[in-house]
Homo-oligomer: A and B are copies of this chain.
Amino acid sequence: MEPIRLPAREIPVPTSVSEPAQSMVGLGPLRQPHQFPAPDDLAGWRALVTAEDEAMLSLIGDRVSQRDVDVRELDTAGVRVFEITPRHVAASDPRVYLDIHGGGFVQGGGELCRLMGVGSAGRWGRRVWAVDYRMPPDHPYPAPLDDCVTAYQALIAGRSAASVIVGGVSAGGNLAAALILRARDEGLPLPAAAVLMTPEADLTESGDSFRTNLGLDPLLPQSLLPGSLLYANGADLADPYLSPLFADFSAGFPPTVLSTGTRDLFLSNTVLLHRALRTAGVAAELHVLEAAGHGGFLGMAPEDRELDREIRAFIDRQWGA
């Protein structure tokens, strides 16, 4: 079948979003396509991760307020977890948001994991467990997913699974969904809900938006396949534990909220996963931000805060509070 041949063209900043969002869109691409290291160039990957993590730290470090939370470091069967508790949350409140960080399966660990967990605790107003899971190049699949499952097991050892909501952004959305599938398949009780924000649901990148939104998404300027292959380490990218989009959700999955943007490279990932969940009878709801790329407007626009309110309301509804 013939591809569609699109001529070169200019896409203006749309007037359909808030002025802060227009300013963000008007910045154009925030990252340029780059050459990924070869799969066996472990030193190259380590250097890339260090550089990207430092860039991200300088971007978000000052924007996360840590005044109103307490942070404890836990060791759950060898997996480091940051337990982050907003001051207004009662010590006796069993409810925990299990936060699986993003970063393309290779970035976002350590201090970044802690900071992003603090951000989640503030946005949702809930106690968070942020899992500092092991990552490639040194610890490819299944180590990252194993660590997430281990943290979940530790969590439900101390409370009802109904007191747990699992969530993640990007690669964190992939791992959050995969952890729930693993838990289900291993006979563990399911969490109360899932929060999957612009999830990297399909490592095969079959979705149309990997092509249609290429060049429009300011944060993701290229295919993420090199990182996905590094993560998979030879495992089949289409395995549901690696690409949850291909799972059989009719065998059980909790209520789920999904979010994306019309310029998101993962737009297709998200809407496909939403349809797969709905078709399987799962209570899943979808929110799409106009003209937003991967990760929305990076917290700079009222649209981001409106989406945060939407997801916080979803969490509150699931917990009946």
Contact = CB atoms under 8 A, between A and B. Distances in A.
Contacts of A206: 14-16
Contact of A10 (B4, B8, B262): B4
Contact of A4 (B28, B202, B288): B28
A291 to B, nearest CB: 4
A212 interface: yes
A212 B262 contact: yes
Contacts of A306: 275, 279
Interface in A215-255: 215-216
Interface string A4-24: 111111111111110000110
Given A287-B286, A310-B278, A268 B262 contact: yes
Contacts of A28: 2, 4
Q: How large is the interface on A (under 10, 10 to 19, 20 to 34, 35 or more residues)?
A: 35 or more
Contacts of A26: 1-2
Given A10-B4, A11-B3, A11-B211, A290 B263 contact: no
A146 interface: no
Given A262-B267, A286-B288, A290-B275, A1 B14 contact: no
B5 A10 contact: yes
A288 B271 contact: yes
A274 interface: yes
A289 interface: yes
Interface string A296-309: 00000001001000
Given A1-B23, A16-B268, A209 B262 contact: yes
A11 B272 contact: no
A208 interface: yes
A207 interface: yes
A215 B23 CA distance: 26
Contact of A272 (B16, B25, B209, B216): B16
A115 B9 CA distance: 39
B8 A208 contact: no
A290 B278 contact: no
Given A2-B28, A6-B216, A262-B267, A14 B207 contact: yes
B1 A290 contact: no
A271 B14 CA distance: 14
Given A14-B206, A22-B1, A206-B14, A215 B6 contact: yes
Given A208-B291, A271-B288, 12 more contacts: A1-B13, A3-B11, A4-B29, A6-B11, A15-B206, A17-B208, A207-B290, A212-B216, A271-B289, A275-B290, A279-B306, A286-B287
24 contacts: A1-B13, A1-B22, A1-B26, A3-B10, A4-B29, A5-B10, A6-B9, A6-B11, A12-B211, A14-B207, A14-B268, A16-B206, A16-B207, A208-B263, A208-B290, A271-B289, A271-B290, A272-B290, A275-B287, A275-B290, A275-B306, A278-B310, A279-B306, A286-B288
